[in-house]
Structure 1
């Protein structure tokens, strides 16, 4: 089987990863028809319930291609009437996922945690076009290759927070169910505790507190040396994003970012910044820097004001059944954001843990310029 990466890479003891197969295994999505949908036709059901995945024409193509079963039987008639309790399964055929790196550097590891240096371009969890080429898949493959873990029923390697696909740097993962539960509680607690909290310390000073520090390249020259941004973040409907797009919104949830200017590159009209957050909302740094008029260099989505600026196309191509969004989406790469450092109390030992992900060359280059 062909791979899109060379399998002869020499791996250091602190690096792991297996090349991706050319095609994934496809994905199945299950639905159960409930009372409000009884009497709908097959095409009506999918067009109404899963419009964010594809418009009616896209679902029509999938039905006629035999990709949907009704109670275990392939049904190609879009006008089939559905009844309560009917089981529907949509099978998304195997596809060649877009290029994604596969090597992961281990920054810290013990019996409970593993911290990785995630490369830009690698998605953390399955979603959209990336169902196999994810950090989670590499973690699961690593567990299977370590025979000693196979007998440990408590082993549960999984990321406990997310980084955008285009974001590089430190990703904290749990190795056991207990660590995952406790870390999830810490992240949830610190996200909800940002209301009115402007005291960002570089070190943890109480149990459960954490600090995350990022590096970013922002458009334009930021005149202030430090800025505290407390713009709330909410969601709006957006094509290609099923649960809505996160944007700056007065009615959104609290979010707080402390921005510190490290370097002003007047010649290239950009500013190198350090941004500190406690846990955080999805795409918080991208949204907040955009909100103050300094979006990330190369960001294809958040251009200004913390909201997207792109046209919404209603046209559908003949190959829409392959599931490809036409507009920029949060997972698109091109921006420069790096999760640089994490400080927190260890969820099991209660010791202070400080982990740093080395800066990519592009950041070192800009920071070293006079």
Structure 2
């Protein structure tokens, strides 16, 4: 694949950083609905509790209505038994809240007129979701774009947007597109890679057909016997309290996924192995699931254990609720919890606009370096 391109553009870690400290609380959120003909005649409380029961219990929705957080056609309504008519415009105003702590500085690894690649720190969510609606990479990208292009007419219309995701606890390279064309082509790269795996091509065929290659570093529990292993375990979902769309796990009936794992260093004394993982598909939490599936879960992973399954299938839900009436997070682990060591170390891709070969590298945390790499990175005071 790579030999067909004329130019290779290497990138080294930049000293450029950007980021704005998070405000104490966010701005809250506004959710809009239009009553469909099929929902005409429902009461206000019936509408919200039937459609958004994962957001809040019945008491929570009653609290939100009585707290004047819901309007119908622009007018505050506090009676939960108010009957709805087709076409009515509903707005629910979620109160501002203090989001959990998260880092905010992003290191620029590569940037041109079409792409920007940043080094995402562990603990920072990529896109809004759950309790993290403002404290995300996307927000920092938007703020940064506004700062750079602020004019009398406001910010530029097109902001850089991530074209793939990294788990909140995963650090390393996050690739973002600055243009719609770049975004669509990069999205196609990722989709094509996953589709190739789904079509059951051989590993060499997958490598030849891909236009993007992602390499990770991980520290796993246990000493891996084989020097290399290819994991083809499908990944599917199961019902899991606190995860509305279901939890991704190793599942025979799931979608195809492929990870190539290579041992970099074994540590028998501490019962761990440093590995390099190249993923040829992009299923959620794929590396965490695949490594745990073969009995080598990531050290410190609060969720996945051997077999690619969660530690607990029936998390306990807190009986208390947030000030806004919504559920508190489960008391047992959920996918976004951090604590493990997984780093998106390198991406090699065909530039989606100029067709040049780009190699981007994110500096390795010390714990994910080999002994030789740590020695090489030590300062020389002689």
- Report how many residues are paired: 357
Cα shift at 1:109: 0.7
| Cα distance in structure 2, aligned partners of 1:30 and 1:95 | 19
State the secondary structure of the residue aligned to 1:169.
strand
Q: How does 1:155-194 map to 2 (within 5 A)?
A: 155-194=158-197
Equivalent residue in structure 2 for 1:330, among 332, 335, 354: 335
Using the size of structure 1 for normalisation, the TM-score is 0.89
Moved runs in structure 1, 4+ residues, more than 4 A?
A: 148-154, 365-370
Judge conservation of contact 2:257–2:280 (CA < 8 Å) in 1: no
Judge conservation of contact 1:52–1:241 (CA < 8 Å) in 2: no
User: Which structure's relative contact order is higher, taking Cα pairs within 8 Å and 6+ residues apart?
Assistant: 2
Q: Report the equivalent of 1:312.
A: 315
Q: Report the equivalent of 2:68.
A: 66
- Relative to structure 1, is the Cα distance of residues 36 and 234 closer, same or farther in structure 2, using a 3 angstrom cutoff? farther
Q: Report the equivalent of 2:118.
A: 116
| Cα distance in structure 1, aligned partners of 2:342 and 2:177 | 23
Structure 2: where are the runs of 5+ without partners?
1-13, 376-382
Structure 1: where are the runs of 5+ without partners?
1-11
Judge conservation of contact 1:231–1:254 (CA < 8 Å) in 2: yes
Aligned-residue RMSD, C-alpha: 2.6
Once the two structures are overlaid, the 10-residue window that deviates more, 165-174 or 185-194, is 185-194
Q: Report the equivalent of 2:304.
A: 302
Cα shift at 1:154: 6.7
Judge conservation of contact 2:293–2:308 (CA < 8 Å) in 1: yes
State the secondary structure of the residue aligned to 1:47.
helix
| Cα distance in structure 1, aligned partners of 2:283 and 2:322 | 34
Once the two structures are overlaid, the 10-residue window that deviates more, 210-219 or 38-47, is 38-47
Q: Report the equivalent of 1:56.
A: 58
Q: Report the equivalent of 1:34.
A: 36
Cα shift at 1:71: 2.4
Query: C-alpha deviations, 1:303-335, integer Å up to 9, x for none?
Result: 232222323325521436255311422111111
Q: Report the equivalent of 1:199.
A: 203
Equivalent residue in structure 2 for 1:230, among 229, 232, 256: 232
State the secondary structure of the residue aligned to 1:261.
strand
Cα shift at 1:91: 1.2
1:364 equivalent in alignment to 2:366: no
